[in-house]
Structures are given as C-alpha cells and as structure tokens.
Structure 1
Amino acid sequence: MLNFQSPGFLRRVLLADAISGLAMGLMLVAGADLLAPLLGLSAVLLREAGFVLFPVAAFIGYAGLRKELSRRMVWAVIAVNALWVMDSFVLLFSGWVTPTLLGQVFVAGQAVVVAVFAELEFFGVRRVRLAMPA
C-alpha cells in the first residue's frame, strides 16, 4: 500500500523520476540514429530531447537527495513534468513531425509515464506539506 503521507514516499518518487529521466536521456542521445527511422522522428530532435533531460534529471535528483525536501523544488519538478507532457502532445498533434505508429506510441507512452510521476509527486507534496519547509 502506498503511503502518500511519508516524506520517504515522495523522496523515492523523485529519485525514480530522476533515474528514469537520466535513462531516457541516455537512450535518446546514444540511440538517436537507431531510433529515428523506427519512430519517424529526426535523430536531431531525439538527441536534443535527450540532452534536455540531463539537467532536468540532475535537478530532480538533487531535489530528492536533499536532507530536507523543499516544497518549492517539488512544485518546480511537477511544473517541469507537466510542461514535458504538454510538449509531448503538442509534438504529436502539431503536424510538425510525422511519427510512425511506433513513434506515436513512444511519445504518448513516455508522456504518460512522466504524467504519473507528476501525479505521484503532487500527491506526495500535498500530503507532507506540513512537515516540509518551503
């Protein structure tokens, strides 16, 4: 059973978010040339998205590893995750790219994973708000 009221829960979610962001960034940077034809997305787009994830993952990891969790930092993580999700769907529906079916599933799937992290972080920060400094 998930204990949303535990600062440990929020810390674990933040660290899982950071690790998954780093892994995705590494995959996109290292595998851009292999993924591009499969996903129907340019290698440049994939590589740049991967490079963007490195500082984001570092920030999320820093937020989760601090001795005391900061509400402001967690809210910033939630905002960045929400922006990533919105940008993912803008990419899919803007007509700027024409991803393959696998590419559409990939972009939507990673957006759903990021949205789940944001939701868990939202529940966590709301539940432990009295115990956390601003």
Structure 2
Amino acid sequence: MSIFASPRFLSRVMWADAASCAATGALQLAATQPLAHLTGLPALLLTGTGMFLLAYALAAGWMAHRQPQPRTLIGLVAVGNLGWALGCAALIFGSGLALSAWGVAWVAAQALVVLALADLQWAGLRATRHAARPGPQLVA
C-alpha cells in the first residue's frame, strides 16, 4: 500500500493545510503594517486574506477531523488551492503592485505551499477512491 492510500493520509494533509493557513493568517493580522511595509502588499489585502485564511483554517481542521473524510469537500479544497496559487501568480506578475523582493517571496511561498498541498490532496483522493466506494458484498 502506498503512503497516499493510508487511512490517515488525507487527514494529515488537511491538518497541514489548516496549520499553514492559521499561521499565515495570524501573522498577516498580527503584523499587518510591518508586513505591508516590508512586502509592498496593501494592508487591506493582508488583512482581508488574513481573515479568510483563519476562517479557512477552521474549515480545513473540521474536514481533517471528520470520519469518514468529506472527499467532495477535500476535492473542492484542492481546486481552491490551485486557484490560490493562480491568484498569487496574478498578484506577482499582473497586479501592477510595486512588490519588494520580500513581497514576491511572501506571495511565491504561499503559491508553492498551496500547490504542494493540492498535489498531496489529489494524490490522497486518487489513492483512496476505490476504498471510499462500497463494493459488491459477498454472501457466504
């Protein structure tokens, strides 16, 4: 059995997603002005995404805790993570904001983390898709 097919794999990935979002969101809210100054990102963007990330962290933690895993929701999360990565790329390359090198690094790091999480979420969903479907019952 592959690591991706482990019964706890998706739960652990969702806990990692929740933790990374909670940490990022909390930092963006606790240090909005210093981060805005350091990165060139607007304070309002840091505050808004910080609040979203904290709310999302709660939802991801709920999904991680659920048994059985809410596969459809985790699939939506994976798609959302891809969307977040695309949004990060758009922010870096097409927003017209004067991001500092730290700003590019902050946004690029988020994009890389969510891409890795989306990949792990898809791998876990693929590896466990047959286990999640009830098969024919054998009667003795």
Question: TM-score category by the smaller chain?
Answer: over 0.9
The match for 2:42 is: 42
The match for 1:7 is: 7
Matches within 5 A, 1:19-58: 19-58=19-58
SS at the partner of 2:3?
coil
Instruction: Name the CA distance, whole Å, in 2 between partners of 1:97 and 1:51.
Output: 21
- How far does the alpha carbon of each residue in 1:11-69 deviate from its partner, in whole angstroms, 9 at most, with x for none? 10111111111111100111111111110111111111101112221221111110210
Residue 132 of structure 1: how far off its partner (Å): 2.5
Query: What is the TM-score with the length of structure 2 in the denominator?
Result: 0.89
Larger radius of gyration between Structure 1 and Structure 2: 2
The match for 2:138 is: none
Query: What 5-or-longer segments of structure 1 have no aligned partner?
Result: none
The match for 1:114 is: 114
Residue 96 of structure 1: how far off its partner (Å): 3.3
Instruction: Name the CA distance, whole Å, in 1 between partners of 2:95 and 2:83.
Output: 19
Residue 131 of structure 1: how far off its partner (Å): 2.2
- How far does the alpha carbon of each residue in 1:84-125 deviate from its partner, in whole angstroms, 9 at most, with x for none? 111111111113311001110111111101110110111011
Give the number of aligned pairs.
132
Task: Give the root-mean-square deviation of aligned CA atoms.
Answer: 1.3
Asked if 1:66 is matched to 2:66, the reply is yes
Residue 7 of structure 1: how far off its partner (Å): 2.2
Instruction: Name the CA distance, whole Å, in 2 between partners of 1:108 and 1:5.
Output: 30
Instruction: Name the CA distance, whole Å, in 1 between partners of 2:13 and 2:123.
Output: 11
Residue 5 of structure 1: how far off its partner (Å): 0.8
Aligned residue type for 1:100? S
Identity of aligned residues (%): 35
Query: What is the TM-score with the length of structure 1 in the denominator?
Result: 0.92
Instruction: Name the CA distance, whole Å, in 1 between partners of 2:121 and 2:95.
Output: 31
